[in-house]
């Protein structure tokens, strides 16, 4: 091990408490934990909205709750119409599209920041390791090769169409290490690339909340009825459109008072119906109060590499109902013995009363024990330390 505090950079497409994406949350929370004993810098862009990459922060140095952050301007904001047109053109030619066309798509995907890439090229070797969070964005695709001798990829990979582009075949051989989030993510990558992925499975730590009060949440937002909850970006790509359709059918099947509460920023229209409460982005305490007061978490996404929301709801002893199409969500629920899964609205309707009865309390208790055993922060930090000890490259100059 290098005889001083580890010096690392964590590169992610956007960062801040205002951002509620899974990879971004993982990056931020890992940075805050490692910063206790490591010299950590988050390298990111000025954007918050992943649909446009519009600047929300000033470029330059700053911090996120005490962790140093360097923000860089994005070269161009994204036109959703133009990007969708590029995607439609390339999606049917994942293996055959020329590399130049694939990389043009990646630049349009963004966020492409010449100044961020120049920083990595000029200063990346001032860090012992450079972690890149999520494979999917331009900050990773164009940034990682610049520091590949000390690069660690945390891919957050799952079976979505972009990962089948041929440009990833070479890219996934570049990092010194690949840190995985779940066994299902490892298995998927091995099928996709027909290669072994032996990197550590780490995931994220969860703070076990000591003061999560469901009654406090109910009083604050005037919610007297029992409710199921969704936490995360409210987006069709996260299964939210289908969730709203399925829950509407459930309400027709079951004439009860169960509400659906949704927490998170909306990237889609939300219907005005009496059984739905969409409360937007909330602070951490409010989120955990809401989870603690819920009957269950419903997680409708079929495209996950790790669900932080599952770990959070289990940390307050509540069960989960997840999309059966996601191997990751079903795998997490099986390992924790803390949830059920559904294929359609009829199965959702059948599962809800089971989770509202005593078995739901048992599953929730199982989930809490599972999180304590497998996702306590000291265990996560220990695994990151092992990665550092195994592959860190001494920085060439002081950061």
- What pLDDT score does 369 carry? 95
Asked if residue 335 belongs to a domain, the reply is yes
Asked if residue 269 belongs to a domain, the reply is yes
Residue 385 and residue 297 share a domain: no
Asked if residue 2 belongs to a domain, the reply is no
- What pLDDT score does 342 carry? 97
Residue 226 and residue 189 share a domain: no
Residue 241 and residue 164 share a domain: no
Residue 61 and residue 29 share a domain: yes
- What pLDDT score does 392 carry? 87
Residue 296 and residue 250 share a domain: yes
The SS3 call for residue 137 is: coil
Q: 156, 161, 23: which is closest to 86 by C-alpha?
A: 161
Per-residue pLDDT tens for 98-132? 999 999 999 999 999 999 999 999 999 999 999 99
Report how many domains make up the chain.
2
Asked if residue 396 belongs to a domain, the reply is no
Asked if residue 397 belongs to a domain, the reply is no
Residue 23 and residue 169 share a domain: yes
State the average pLDDT over residues 137-156.
97
Asked if residue 1 belongs to a domain, the reply is no
Whether residue 398 is predicted with pLDDT greater than 90 in this model: the reply is no
- Phi/psi zone of residue 229: left (φ > 0), alpha (ψ -120 to 50 degrees), beta? beta
Per-residue pLDDT tens for 47-64? 999 889 999 999 999 999
Residue 174 and residue 108 share a domain: yes
Whether residue 2 is predicted with pLDDT greater than 80 in this model: the reply is no
User: Is residue 302 within 8 Å of residue 327, measured between CB atoms?
Assistant: no
Residue 220 and residue 190 share a domain: no
Residue 111 and residue 186 share a domain: yes
Residue 316 and residue 267 share a domain: yes
Residue 144 and residue 284 share a domain: no
- Phi/psi zone of residue 397: left (φ > 0), alpha (ψ -120 to 50 degrees), beta? beta
Please give the residue that has the higher pLDDT: either 174 or 22.
Answer: 174
Asked if residue 20 belongs to a domain, the reply is yes
Residue 83: give its domain's CATH number: 3.40.50.2000
Residue 177 and residue 36 share a domain: yes
Asked if residue 345 belongs to a domain, the reply is yes
Strands of the 129-133 sheet, one edge to the other = 60-64, 67-72, 39-45, 7-11, 129-133, 151-154, 177-178
Show the domain range for 339: 214-374
Per-residue pLDDT tens for 206-261? 887 788 999 999 999 999 999 999 999 899 989 999 999 999 999 988 778 999 99
Per-residue pLDDT tens for 287-301? 999 999 999 999 999
Q: What number of other Cβ atoms are within 10 A of residue 4's Cβ?
A: 10
């Amino acid at each position: 091990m290098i005889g001083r505090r580890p010096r690392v950079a964590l590169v992610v497409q956007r960062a801040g408490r205002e951002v509620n994406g899974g990879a971004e949350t993982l990056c931020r929370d890992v940075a805050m934990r490692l910063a206790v004993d490591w010299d950590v810098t988050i390298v990111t862009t000025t954007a918050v909205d992943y649909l446009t990459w519009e600047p929300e922060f000033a470029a330059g140095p700053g911090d996120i709750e005490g962790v140093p952050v360097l923000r860089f301007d994005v070269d161009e904001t994204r036109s959703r119409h133009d990007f969708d047109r590029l995607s439609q053109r390339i999606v049917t030619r994942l293996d055959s599209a020329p590399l130049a066309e694939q990389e043009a798509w990646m630049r349009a995907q963004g966020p492409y920041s010449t100044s961020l890439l120049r920083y990595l090229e000029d200063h990346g070797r001032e860090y012992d390791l450079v972690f890149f969070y999520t494979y999917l964005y331009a900050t990773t695709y164009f940034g990682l090769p610049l520091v590949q001798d000390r690069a660690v990829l945390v891919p957050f990979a799952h079976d979505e169409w972009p990962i089948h582009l041929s440009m990833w075949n070479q890219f996934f051989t570049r990092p010194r290490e690949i840190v995985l989030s779940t066994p299902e993510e490892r298995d998927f990558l091995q099928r996709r690339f027909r290669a072994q992925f032996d990197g550590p499975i780490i995931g994220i730590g969860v703070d076990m909340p000591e003061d999560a009060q469901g009654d406090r949440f109910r009083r604050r937002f005037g919610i007297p009825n029992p409710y199921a909850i969704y936490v995360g970006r409210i987006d069709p790509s996260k299964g939210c459109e289908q969730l709203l359709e399925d829950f509407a059918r459930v309400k027709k099947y079951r004439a009860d008072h169960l509400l659906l509460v949704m927490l998170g920023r909306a990237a889609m229209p939300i219907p005005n119906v009496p059984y739905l409460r969409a409360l937007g982005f909330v602070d951490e305490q409010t989120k955990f109060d809401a989870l603690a007061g819920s009957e269950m978490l419903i997680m409708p996404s079929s495209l996950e590499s790790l669900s932080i929301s599952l770990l959070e709801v289990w940390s307050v002893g509540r069960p989960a109902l997840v999309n059966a199409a996601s191997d990751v969500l079903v795998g997490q629920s099986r390992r924790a013995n803390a949830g059920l899964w559904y294929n359609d609205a009829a199965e959702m309707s059948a599962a809800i009363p089971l989770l509202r009865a005593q078995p739901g309390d048992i599953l929730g208790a199982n989930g809490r024990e599972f999180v304590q055993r497998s996702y306590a922060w000291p265990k996560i930090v220990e695994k990151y330390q092992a990665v550092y000890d195994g592959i860190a490259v001494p920085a060439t100059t002081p950061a």
